[in-house]
Amino acid sequence: MYDIVIIGAGIIGTFIARELSRYKLNIALIDKENDVANGTTKANSAIVHAGFDAKPGSKMARFNVEGNAMFDKICNDLDVEFNRIGSLVIGFSEEEMKELQKLYQRGLENHVPDMEIIDKKRVKELEPNISDNVVGALYAATGGIVGPWEMAIALAENAIENGVELLLNHEVKDIQKTQKGYELLTSEGPMQAKCIINCAGVYADHINNMIAKPTFKINPRRGQYFVLDRDARNIVNTVVFQCPTKLGKGILVTPTVHGNILVGPDAEDLDDRENLSTTADRLEYIKEIAKLTMEKIPYHMTITTFAGLRAEPSTGDFIIEESKDAKGFINVAGIKSPGLTSSPAIAQYVVGLVGKILGNLEEKAEFNPTRRKLIRFDQLSQEEKEETIKRDSRFGRIICRCEHITEGEIVDIIKRKAGATTVDGVKRRARPGTGRCQGGFCGPRVVEILARELGKDMAEILKDGRNSNVLTEKTHKGSDGSDVKEWAAVSIEK
Ligand SMILES: Cc1cc2nc3c(=O)[nH]c(=O)nc-3n(C[C@H](O)[C@H](O)[C@H](O)COP(=O)(O)OP(=O)(O)OC[C@H]3O[C@@H](n4cnc5c(N)ncnc54)[C@H](O)[C@@H]3O)c2cc1C
């Protein structure tokens, strides 16, 4: 029997797993997907919000501000890229400047440090490409950008190193009460736990309803984005929001930690919790609105588009509590934006709830808060590069030409704890396929490396989720009619 089973290996589940791995507990982190961070955590704006947006007194406000302050240490410990580049909410009229004043006041109530209202001249100094129609802005120095899925992967790796068991491809189908706690019926068989933590993202209400009264509902709210090539990186320096609307924080233009530019998201309520399609009409709408921020966004440099699903709770605020009618069952639900920013503080709070349920938690002397640094070959000095290649010649072989990723880096991220097993898993950890060609050149090489390192047949290698096979079978003839055996590929939609 596990002390704790955490359902959902997104940023929330992985953070809680890592924080609980400080204690002498038997913990399983389970997910229905075949990789960590395959839900909302892989598709969002990647902003570490300053915290002026949420309603004072709400859980969102509290955990946003507390979480923001925790990012420097955690990202340093886990070697995750994070930059406090600051954020601007821009106003285009005196009316909007009044709204920004309200946001500023709300920020003060939420205890957000280092904010100021700045005039047009200062906005243009910070962001020369912003529309001349700008009147002023709310500047928050603590706003930042982070690698969200890299962070979840790093947390999972660190949690495993500290004793947590990660069980992927484990879909929770039902939960039953037992004398000593709970039995979870998963797609891979039953599991017993004293305590369950529900971090199932857009499915958190389904999981709650398996064991407790339906006290909340999650509505999926889709947001779509453009991703621009790194050649566009100089168009913006900070995170630039427009004045928020009822539907959220509005369209933003921001750099990512990898030097790309993100434009989006819109907000669209759906019934379907799996619909991650992008649509021409919504992307056109994003272009129209983003034009107000910046007249000349170079959309010809778009390398991909994507969509994410917010877990919009019917309660309007994060739900982080032990269920009233299922003792030992904790909901961490409705974690919409600023969920990524809030995740470190939410995790600490949940440790407190677990402590109350299981009694005093005993710390492990051997807990290691750090993980081995990633090898980012392109960022090494010439001498370091030469030394690394001398140690392992695979670092001398470039696999991804757009992002200059070597075979050595790909092998490293496959071999780590919570390592990559799919083409997109490799892409999210080491970035081959994130550049201009979107994997056109390196995709087949990545499939070969995965098959070799995992001891699998190439036809077994998946692009991303289940059934996303890349290759189907060996053909008998080569394309020139020779006897050379070639692989037949299926077209990839996902
Ligand atoms: C468009 C958009 C923009 C956003 N921008 C920001 C931002 O800039 N800054 C910010 O702070 N926040 C942002 N957010 C919010 C942030 O992305 C989320 O709060 C966060 O990713 C939620 O993480 P999670 O772990 O709760 O959910 P998820 O990442 O969705 O993880 C839930 C996991 O549960 C698993 N699961 C579900 N059902 C089951 C089951 N039956 N059995 C087993 N496993 C199951 C899923 O597979 C999934 O991996 C944004 C969100 C969206 C959609």
Mutate to test the pocket of ligand 1, among 41, 196, 211, 252 (most ligand atoms within 8 A of CB): 41
Which residues in the chain land under pLDDT 50?
Answer: 492-494
Q: How is residue 251 written in tokens?
A: 């369209």
What's residue 242's pLDDT? 95
Cβ of 13 closer than 6 Å to ligand 1, yes or no, is yes
| Ligand 1 centroid, distance to 200 Cα (angstroms) | 8
Alpha-carbon distance of 429 to 421, in angstroms, equals 11
Q: CA angle at residue 312 from 146 to 62, to 5 degrees?
A: 60
Q: How is residue 281 written in tokens?
A: 């009409």
Cβ of 222 closer than 6 Å to ligand 1, yes or no, is no
Alpha-carbon distance of 428 to 148, in angstroms, equals 10
Torsion of CA 409, 413, 416, 418, to 10 degrees: 170
As a residue count, the chain comes to: 494
Alpha-carbon distance of 286 to 222, in angstroms, equals 13
Mutate to test the pocket of ligand 1, among 7, 14, 33, 44 (most ligand atoms within 8 A of CB): 44
Cβ of 4 closer than 6 Å to ligand 1, yes or no, is no
Q: Rg of the chain over CA atoms, in angstroms?
A: 23
Catalytic: which of 49, 170, 258, 300?
Answer: 49
Torsion of CA 184, 190, 194, 198, to 10 degrees: -30
| Ligand 1 centroid, distance to 274 Cα (angstroms) | 12
| Nearest partner of 196 among 415, 20, 432, judged by Cα | 20
What's residue 494's pLDDT? 40
Question: What pairs with residue 168 in β-bridges?
Answer: none
Are residues 342 and 48 in contact, defined by beta-carbon separation less than 8 angstroms? no
Alpha-carbon distance of 403 to 430, in angstroms, equals 9
Cβ of 110 closer than 6 Å to ligand 1, yes or no, is no
Alpha-carbon distance of 381 to 384, in angstroms, equals 5
Residue 277 has a CB neighbour count (10 Å cut-off) of: 13
Torsion of CA 10, 11, 12, 18, to 10 degrees: 110
| Ligand 1 centroid, distance to 100 Cα (angstroms) | 28
H-helix or E-strand spanning residue 426: helix 423-430
Cβ of 341 closer than 6 Å to ligand 1, yes or no, is yes
Question: What pairs with residue 487 in β-bridges?
Answer: 474
Alpha-carbon distance of 247 to 53, in angstroms, equals 12
| Ligand 1 centroid, distance to 418 Cα (angstroms) | 18
Alpha-carbon distance of 115 to 124, in angstroms, equals 17
Q: Quick check: is 170 catalytic?
A: no
Cβ of 115 closer than 6 Å to ligand 1, yes or no, is no
What's residue 49's pLDDT? 98
| Ligand 1 centroid, distance to 435 Cα (angstroms) | 24
Nearest CA to ligand 1 atom 3: 44
Cβ of 344 closer than 6 Å to ligand 1, yes or no, is no
Residue 28 has a CB neighbour count (10 Å cut-off) of: 19
9 contacts: CB under 8 Å, gap ≥ 6: 17, 29, 30, 31, 33, 36, 37, 152, 156, 166, 168
What's residue 436's pLDDT? 81
Q: Where are the beta strands (DSSP E) in 397-468?
A: 398-400, 405-406
Cβ of 255 closer than 6 Å to ligand 1, yes or no, is no
Alpha-carbon distance of 18 to 350, in angstroms, equals 12
Instruction: Give the nearest ligand 1 atom to 311 CA.
Output: 53
